[in-house]
Amino acid sequence: MSLPSVAAEGTAGRLCALLFLLVCLAWQPAAGQEGGSVSVRSADSSLVDGVHRVDARLQYVLSKEALDALESGVPINVELEFQVIQNRRFWLDKVAAELSVNYQLLYNALSRRYVVRNRNTGEQDSYATLYSALNNLGRIISLPVIDEALLRDDRGHRIRMRAVVDVKDYPAALRLIAFWRDDWRITSDWYEWQLEP
C-alpha cells in the first residue's frame, strides 16, 4: 500500500512556508504609529566630594494613548538606567557598575495634579500641569552615580544612560494587549560620555 510521500510533503512544505511568511508579516510591530518618545538631550558628570554626580536633561513626549491612560489613573513608570563601563584594551569593555533610578508619574484626580514620585527614595512632588511634571522629571541635577573609590583603573571609565518609559504596573489582564504594542514601552538611546576623574 503506497502512502503519499513526496508530493504530499512538497505540498505541506509549501503551505508551511506560506504560513511562516504570514506569521512573520503579522509579527511586524505597527511601525509608524503616532507614538511617544524619550531622549537624553544632554548629560554630564562631575566629581563632587569623591562621588560622581550626573546632571542631565531629558525630553519626554507621551503618546496620546499614554496620556489617556495617565488621565484615567494608570501610572507610568520612568526608569533611568546608568552603566559605568570600564575601558579595556585587549578585551571587550566591561560594565563595572549599574544604577537604576525609578520614578512614577501619576495623575491625582481629586487635586487635579500630576504627581512625580521617586520610587527609590519615596519622595514625591505634585505639579499642576503635565508639562511641569515632565519638565521636572527630565531635569536630573547632581544625581550621585558611583563613588570614585570604586573606580581604580588606568584605562578610565565612561558612563552611559538611558530612560525607559513603560506601564509595568498595568493591570494583568491588559498585559497581553500591552505586550503587542510598542508604544506602551518606549526606550531612549544610550547617551554615553567619558567619566572624568
Residues of the shown chain interacting with other proteins in the complex, contacts defined by CB under 8 A: 1-4, 7-9, 11-12, 15-16, 19, 23, 68-69, 71-74, 108-111, 113, 115, 117, 122-129, 132, 136, 168-169, 171-179
The C-alpha cell 565612561 sits at 158
- Residue 48 CB, shortest distance to other proteins, in Å, is 20
| Closer CB to other proteins, 95 or 109, in the complex | 109
DSSP 148-181: GGG---TT-EEEEEEEEEE-TTS-GGGHHHHHH-
Using the minimum distance from each CB to other proteins, give the nearer residue, 6 or 149.
Answer: 6
Residue with the three cell numbers 505634585: 126
Q: Which is nearer to other proteins, 44 or 68 (CB)?
A: 68
Helix or strand or coil: residue 24? helix
Number of Cβ within a 10 Å radius of residue 28: 7
CB of 51 to other proteins, least distance (A): 21
- Of 12 and 48, the one with the shorter C-beta distance to other proteins is 12
Alpha helices in 38-83 (DSSP H): 64-71
Nearer to other proteins, 160 or 185 (CB): 185
Spatial separation of the C-alpha atoms in residues 47 and 148, rounded to whole Å: 8
Q: How far is the CB of 6 from other proteins (least distance, A)?
A: 10
Report, in Å, the least distance between residue 175 CB and other proteins: 5
Closest CB 176 distance from other proteins, rounded Å: 5
Q: How far apart are CA 195 and CA 197, in angstroms?
A: 6
Place of cell 504560513: 19
**Residue (108 or 194) nearer to other proteins, CB:** 108
Look up residue 189 and give its amino acid: D
**The C-alpha cell of 133 is what?**
511634571
Minimum Å gap between C-beta 126 and other proteins is: 5
Distance, in Å, from the CA atom of 35 to the CA atom of 182, rounded to the nearest integer, reads: 9
